[in-house]
Amino acid sequence: MPESLFGEDVIVRTIARIVAPFIQLFGLYVLMHGHISPGGGFQAGVIIASSFILLALALGLPESKERFKKTIRLPMESSGPLIYASIGVTCILAGGYYLQYGMAFLFPPHVVSAILISAVEIGIGITVMAMIVTIFYSMAGD
Binding site for other proteins (CB under 8 A): 1-2, 5, 30, 38-40, 42-43, 46-47, 49-50, 53, 57, 132, 135-136, 139-140
Nearest approach in angstroms of CB 43 to other proteins is 5
**How many CB atoms are closer than 10 A to CB 87?**
18
Nearest approach in angstroms of CB 139 to other proteins is 5
Nearest approach in angstroms of CB 138 to other proteins is 10
Torsional sign, CA 44, 49, 52, 56: negative
Q: Quick one: 30 or 59, whose CB is closer to other proteins? A: 30
Q: Quick one: 39 or 123, whose CB is closer to other proteins? A: 39
Alpha-carbon span 24 to 73, nearest angstrom? 16
Q: Quick one: 40 or 91, whose CB is closer to other proteins? A: 40
- Of 57, 78, 65, whose CA–CA distance to 131 is shortest? 78
Q: Quick one: 32 or 46, whose CB is closer to other proteins? A: 46
Alpha-carbon span 94 to 1, nearest angstrom? 52
